[in-house]
Amino acid sequence: MNRHAKRWPLPKHDYWSTPFAESLLQHLDLRPGLRILDVASGHGIPAFYLAEQVGPTGEVLAIDISAGQVARARAIQGSQLPWLRFDCTDMRALPHLPTFDRVTGNLSVMFFRPNRFEAVRGLVERLNPGGQLVLTFPSLGTFDSLWQRVDQAMIQQGLSNERARFQDYLNERPSAQEGRGWLGALDLERVEAIEYPLEVETGPGHEFLHHPLLRGGFLDDVYECFEDQSLADRFMIEISEDIAQFTSLIAQRCVLSGWKRTSA
Ligand SMILES: C[S@@+](CC[C@H](N)C(=O)[O-])C[C@H]1O[C@@H](n2cnc3c(N)ncnc32)[C@H](O)[C@@H]1O
């Protein structure tokens, strides 16, 4: 990682985006003057960092589908780093954009639904020959100990419909191996799909059920497996009181990286 970030380091107190972005930066070849497309940019992790590193001879276009996130990013930016632009755009439909030296996306791949391969193809099309794509996401294996506990409880309680939905949800999650396959099929070279474990700390009960990382996006998926939300609440309260059975909770930070060939 470049040690010269001064004004726009990754936020120290973000315990999810920052560790994923650190893994992304570990694999990204980042230099002054590069033109970068950062997708699923949220409120600017790692777009601000990237913009500071490419400097005024470079350019960063950071896109997000959420107008609220784009507004938040622009408010943080003010008139700084004028070679960085935040735009409200769907990363799954980019034919109108120019091409870039790098395409990055921190915590992005899980939002490539419904056709993740086509979404990755669209990003590769936006790369210049010789350019690099680097994406991160929590890969299959993330919080496995929790999912095993949930599955066991569903079996014990005879929740067969809920369990079938839950299994569909688990099976739909992308793996590092699947990601590697996409980049290989798109003829990228020097393909890497590397996972770095990240422990997420939690306490029992309310702390678990309302944990900002777990509730948004992970636990919500379990609630969605239930038609009866009061049953879901009772089920999840029981799980939350049994965290010793499934902690440590380990996420897998997967980094996908590949380079577009110089001669197509
Ligand atoms: C988990 S956040 C990651 C944000 C940021 N990169 C970070 O690391 O903090 C995922 C972002 O993807 C955005 N997103 C979801 N679907 C998208 C799409 N189809 N096109 C562009 N952005 C999308 C969401 O609005 C959200 O801001």
Residue 58 domain-assigned (yes or no): yes
Considering the domain architecture, whether residues 60 and 179 belong to the same structural domain is answered as yes
Considering the domain architecture, whether residues 131 and 180 belong to the same structural domain is answered as yes
pLDDT of amino acid 263: 75
pLDDT of amino acid 74: 98
Considering the domain architecture, whether residues 212 and 160 belong to the same structural domain is answered as yes
Coil, strand, or helix at residue 112? coil
Residue 5 has pLDDT above 70, yes or no: no
Considering the domain architecture, whether residues 96 and 209 belong to the same structural domain is answered as no
Residue 1 domain-assigned (yes or no): no
- Give the CA-trace dihedral at 138, 139, 140, 145, to 10 degrees: -40
Considering the domain architecture, whether residues 57 and 184 belong to the same structural domain is answered as yes
pLDDT of amino acid 3: 52
Highest mean pLDDT of the ranges 94-98, 217-221, 249-253: 249-253
pLDDT of amino acid 69: 98
Alpha-carbon distance values, 208 to 61, 147, 200 (Å): 36, 14, 11
Question: Which range has the worst mean pLDDT, 5-9, 83-87, 153-157?
Answer: 5-9
Considering the domain architecture, whether residues 72 and 126 belong to the same structural domain is answered as yes
Cα 210 to ligand 1 centre (Å): 21
Percent of the chain at pLDDT exceeding 70: 98
pLDDT of amino acid 125: 97
Considering the domain architecture, whether residues 32 and 127 belong to the same structural domain is answered as yes
The residue to mutate among 36, 65, 116, 120, having the most atoms of ligand 1 within 8 angstroms of its beta carbon, is 65
pLDDT of amino acid 181: 98
Considering the domain architecture, whether residues 64 and 188 belong to the same structural domain is answered as yes
Dihedral pair phi/psi, residue 79, rounded to 5°: -100, 15
Residue 65 CB–ligand 1 contact under 6 Å: yes
> Which structural domain range is residue 25 located in?
17-139+174-199+251-259
Residue 41 CB–ligand 1 contact under 6 Å: yes
Residue 253 CB–ligand 1 contact under 6 Å: no
Residue 206 has pLDDT above 70, yes or no: yes
Residue 190 domain-assigned (yes or no): yes
Cα 40 to ligand 1 centre (Å): 3
Give the nearest ligand 1 atom to 91 CA: 20
157-165 average pLDDT score: 97
pLDDT of amino acid 2: 53
The residue to mutate among 22, 69, 116, 123, having the most atoms of ligand 1 within 8 angstroms of its beta carbon, is 69
57-61 average pLDDT score: 98
Q: How confident is the model at residue 216 (pLDDT cuts 50, 70, 90)?
A: confident
Q: How confident is the model at residue 134 (pLDDT cuts 50, 70, 90)?
A: very high
179-193 average pLDDT score: 98
Higher-scoring residue by pLDDT: 263, 40: 40
Considering the domain architecture, whether residues 68 and 194 belong to the same structural domain is answered as yes
The tokens for 153 are: 């409880």
- CA 34 and chain centroid, separation: 22
For the chain, how many structural domains are there in total?
2
Residue 146 has pLDDT above 70, yes or no: yes
Considering the domain architecture, whether residues 213 and 230 belong to the same structural domain is answered as yes
Among 125, 72, 87, 74, residue whose Cα is nearest residue 103: 125
pLDDT of amino acid 217: 78
Does the predicted TM-score (pTM) go above 0.85? yes
pLDDT of amino acid 209: 96
Considering the domain architecture, whether residues 210 and 180 belong to the same structural domain is answered as no
Residue 100 domain-assigned (yes or no): yes
In sequence order, which residues have a C-beta less than 8 Å from that of residue 34 and are 6 or more positions away? 54, 58, 101, 102
Considering the domain architecture, whether residues 70 and 186 belong to the same structural domain is answered as yes
Residue 22 CB–ligand 1 contact under 6 Å: no
pLDDT of amino acid 215: 85
**CA atoms of 106 and 2, how far apart (whole Å):** 17
Coil, strand, or helix at residue 177? helix
Cα 263 to ligand 1 centre (Å): 32
Cα 6 to ligand 1 centre (Å): 25
State the CATH number of the domain containing residue 126: 3.40.50.150
pLDDT of amino acid 264: 54
Residue 40 CB–ligand 1 contact under 6 Å: yes
Q: Are 136 and 255 in contact (CB under 8 A)?
A: yes
**CA atoms of 74 and 92, how far apart (whole Å):** 22
In sequence order, which residues have a C-beta less than 8 Å from that of residue 69 and are 6 or more positions away? 41, 42, 43
Q: How confident is the model at residue 100 (pLDDT cuts 50, 70, 90)?
A: very high
Residue 81 domain-assigned (yes or no): yes
